[in-house]
Chain A
Amino acid sequence: MADFGRRDFDVPRADAAGRFGEYGGRFVPETLMAPLAELETAYRRARRDGAFRRELDGLLTTYAGRPTPLTQARRLTEALGGARILLKREDLLHTGAHKINNALGQVLLARRMGKRRVVAETGAGQHGVATATAAALLGLECVVYMGEVDVERQAPNVYRMRLLGTKVVPVASGSRTLKDAINEAMRDWVATYDTTHYVLGSVLGPHPFPTMVRDFHAVIGKEALAQSRRLLHGALPDLLVACVGGGSNAIGLFHAFLPFRGVELVGVEAGGRSLAPGEHAARFGPGRAGVLHGTRTLLLQDEDGQVLPTHSVSAGLDYPAVGPEHANLAALGRTRYVSVSDGEALEAFHLLSEKEGIIPALETAHAVAWAVREAPRRRPDEVIVVNLSGRGDKDVPQVARREGVEL
């Protein structure tokens, strides 16, 4: 168990241009500069407005199911024989993942801005389902872009979005995954910003998205901080671990703990099939600073500045760039990033199901897999919190198919 938490780290904030150190910013076509400024102003006002905060908090508790529990993973801990493992249960939220925290916040903001339509991209389909849900709840039109590869491998979520009254547009360009879905969503928004808000689904994109999306997810860490203090009699956990696609569930969990250097923060990326180019989505290491989707950050790219294809068994981690705040926190040495392979994630998917009765999303299984590797190396009095960002219902057909099981 870590000590009672000395605040010994100054949490860097984005500057006025939305830069986290040398990362972040607003690299977009001129057409989007005014809509982004409008969004930034609207968001700043909404944040300070008690009525907005009360409405969002109300929806998070009475609709989405917050607070989520911190579950002690007793049998998993016992099986691994090392550090004690706790699970932050974002998988229990309505729609099945942390993504609803941000979707409710942004769709409420869109309505407040007088927009009648929202667009979103989705990889795993969880952000798409969350946005479709919030749009149905608040009465806005919704269009979700999704790469054809992901439409195929996350089919249950495609049908869910359609049930929710959302139009799902399959994207056939590029690698036909999350990156290409973001391209199409941005192309839609650049033509429709007058009536439409773009609900970006991770801590990516131009300022103010990385800050705003992080703020909407920061509730995860605030709850986990209070819950772990209660459970640990005032002490803090030693280590937090979360999977990192764009990095929204990870930054959401980490943020409240950033001031306490004694708490180690580890993000888990998709190691894919191998660490050869195109076979993974591990940006820390081979990634070099570059600009994609409106932000300067670590990016998997070739020598000529072309974005490299990626691979992961999990659609939500299959993306060539990472949130700029993560890139900066890593540069400052406050967080670190590791990767686990497709195979390890699949093993963890089974292990958590069998040991705890929780089927995790394949994205989430990456965080579990790293905890499985790490826990035995730690003392039994150490505590690891794993962010269970989502549940695995959406992945059941895909995993069954991979394993040759006919449903």
Chain B
Amino acid sequence: MSGRLGAAFGRARAEGRAALVAFVEAGDPSLAVTGRLLPALQAAGADVIELGIPFSDPIADGPVIQRASQRALGAGATLAKVLDAAAAARGEGLSVPLVAFSYANPILAFGVAAFARRAAEAGIDGVLVTDLPPEEGEAAAATFVSSGLDPVFLLAPSSTPARIRRAARLSSGFVYLVSRPGVTGARNDLPEGLPDLVARVRAGIGRTPLAVGFGISSPEQVRAVSREADGVVVGSAIVRTMEEAVAAGRDPVPAAARLVSSLAAATRG
């Protein structure tokens, strides 16, 4: 287990707030930008950064992250190069925990054991694989653990109590709760019944930190979710802010950092 994830959630908990988990698509619009982005988001107050690994067929993603994934692939991003970029950022002193957020196939093509070794060397802390539920992911999770990575499994409103317990047993670092049925993408509202859902999940996962994501985009939403969960994940809103900045001919890094700092402030109430 990497200590960084546990420490980040522990610190936020000690401060009486939720951790801000910022998702970015690695390599969008280029790996050079990602290299500047990571320290900027750390400085802006992200407690954890999820690095989306681009994939040709992202079935769990809405249009914003689909486009980002296409841009990243078009600019030549691969899993290997993303890991190199993470290693370079660590070399320059990046301390924020990093979670690789991938679809199964790029990792399978790399080889699960080879990926785990390389990711750990590169300073990745956790791994979350969207289309690898516990049924298919037990062996991979064990490989991640033995390389010192935290496997993070997803839960959803449709998860049964038995599934909730199983995901918690296989996860370390945190468990990721998908707040609503559907794909990634910013929404204006929070799902009804989120507090009940969080309570139901908590009953099954014990003390493992719980991060909630999907559809969360504004500081108000972050503030509301912070009251329920140990972590709040924001993805599409950051990715879209960067897309808009690039389209307007501006540097996407400060634009993303400004948004992240307002979201980080929102976790503090």
The reply to whether chain A is a binding partner of chain B is yes
Interface residues of A (CB under 8 A from B): 17, 25-35, 173-174, 179-180, 183, 186-187, 190-194, 288-294, 299, 301, 303-307
Set of chain A residues within 8 Å of B146, measured between Cβ atoms = none
Check B109–A173 contact: CB distance below 8 A.
no
With a cutoff of 8 Å between Cβ atoms, the chain B residues found around residue A294 in the complex are: 131
Contacts of B262 in A (CB 8 A): none
Q: A35-B158, A173-B66, A290-B105 are in contact. Are A30 and B178 (CB under 8 A)?
A: yes
B 74-86 binary contact with A (CB < 8 Å = 1; else 0):
0000111000000
**A-contact 0/1 string along B119-130, CB 8 Å cutoff:** 000000000001
Q: B21 interface residue, CB < 8 Å from A?
A: no
Does the CB pair B156–A305 fall under 8 Å? no
A33 touching B57 by the CB < 8 A rule? no
B130 and A305 within 8 A (CB): no
List, in ascending order, chain B residues with CB within 8 A of A179's CB.
57
Is the beta-carbon distance between B108 and A30 smaller than 8 angstroms?
A: no
Contact B59 A186 (CB under 8 A): yes
Pairwise interchain contact A31-B156, C-beta atoms closer than 8 A = yes
Q: Is the CB of B57 within 8 A of A305?
A: no
Most buried by B among A25, A183, A306: A306
Question: CB < 8 Å: which of A28, A35, A303 contacts B133?
Answer: A28
Q: How far is the CB of B237 from chain A (nearest CB, A)?
A: 19
- The stretch that binds A, out of B31-39, B44-52, B159-167, B253-261, is B159-167
Chain B residue numbers with a CB within 8 Å of A303 are 109
Chain A CB within 8 A of B183 CB: yes
Interface centre among B59, B73, B79, B183 (most CB of A within 10 A): B59
The answer, yes or no, to whether B107 is at the interface (CB within 8 Å) is yes
Which residues of B sit under 8 angstroms from A304, Cβ to Cβ? 78-80, 106, 109-110
**Which B residues are CB-close (under 8 A) to A29?**
59-60, 130-131, 133, 154, 156, 178
Closest-by-CB residue of B relative to A35 is B158
**Pairwise interchain contact A306-B154, C-beta atoms closer than 8 A:** no
> Could you tell me which B residues sit within 8 Å of A by CB distance?
55-60, 62, 66, 70, 73, 78-80, 103-110, 130-133, 135-136, 153-160, 163, 167, 178, 181-183
Residues of chain B lying within 8 A (CB to CB) of residue A187: 59-60, 62, 182-183
The answer to whether B104 and A30 touch across the interface, beta carbons within 8 angstroms, is no
Q: Which of A25, A33, A179, A186 has the most CB of B within 10 A?
A: A33
* Selected A-B contacts with CB under 8 Å, 6 pairs: A29-B131, A30-B154, A30-B167, A31-B181, A33-B156, A305-B107
Q: Say yes or no: B136 contacts A26, CB within 8 Å.
A: yes
Known: A33-B156, A173-B66, A194-B181. 11 other contacts (CB 8 A): A25-B136, A33-B133, A33-B135, A183-B58, A291-B104, A291-B105, A294-B131, A304-B79, A304-B110, A305-B79, A307-B105
Cβ-defined partner of A291 (8 Å) among B58, B131, B135 = B131
Instruction: Write out the residue numbers on chain B whose beta carbons fall within 8 Å of the beta carbon of A194.
Output: 181
Min CB gap A184→B, angstroms? 9
Residue in chain B with minimal CB distance to A191:
B182
Closest Cβ–Cβ distance, residue B66 to chain A (whole Å) = 6
* Interface pair B108/A291, CB less than 8 Å apart: yes
A-B contact count (CB 8 A): 118
* Contact partners of B155 in chain A: CB under 8 A: 30
Alpha-carbon distance A292/B56, docked complex (angstroms): 10
Task: Give, as a whole number of angstroms, the nearest-CB distance from B264 to chain A.
Answer: 27
Bound-state CA distance A303–B79 (Å) is 10
In the assembled complex, the Cα of A352 lies from the Cα of B104 at a distance in Å of: 43
Q: Within 8 Å CB of B62, what residues of A?
A: 187
Q: Are B80 and A292 in contact (CB under 8 A)?
A: no
Say whether A293 contacts B59, CB under 8 Å: yes
Closest A-chain residue to B214, C-beta based?
Answer: A31
Taking CB atoms, residues of chain B closer than 8 Å to A290 are 105, 108-109
**A186 vs B103: C-alpha distance in the bound complex, in angstroms?**
15
Whether A307 and B136, one on each chain, are in contact in the complex, defined by CB atoms closer than 8 angstroms, is no
Q: Whole-angstrom distance from the CB of B48 to the nearest CB of chain A?
A: 19
Residue pair A190, B135 in contact (C-beta under 8 Å) = no
Q: In whole angstroms, how far apart are the Cα atoms of A256 and B122 in the complex?
A: 52
- Chain A neighbourhood of B105, CB < 8 A: 290-292, 299, 301, 305-307
Query: Is A305's CB under 8 angstroms from B109's CB?
Result: yes
- Chain A residues whose C-beta falls within 8 Å of the C-beta of B79 in the assembled complex: 304-305
Which of B57, B60, B155, B156 gathers most chain A CB within 10 Å?
A: B57
Contact of A307 among B56, B70, B157 (CB under 8 A): B56
A290 to B26, CA, bound (A): 22
In the complex, chain A residues whose CB is within 8 Å of the CB of B66:
173
Give the contacting residue for A301; candidates B59, B109, B130, B182; CB below 8 A: B109
Q: State the Cβ distance, B248 to closest chain A Cβ, in Å.
A: 24
Smallest Cβ distance from A40 to chain B, in angstroms? 12
Question: Considering the complex of A and B, which 10 residue pairs feature the smallest CB-CB distances, nearest first?
Answer: A305-B109, A191-B182, A34-B158, A305-B106, A31-B156, A30-B154, A304-B78, A305-B105, A307-B56, A306-B56
CA distance A306 to B56 in the complex (A): 6
**Which residues of A have CB within 8 Å of B73?**
306
Are A306 and B55 touching (Cβ within 8 A)? yes
Is B107 in contact with A191, judged by CB distance below 8 angstroms? no
Contact for A192 among B131, B156, B181, CB less than 8 A: B181
Cα of A301 to Cα of B181 in the assembled complex, Å: 29
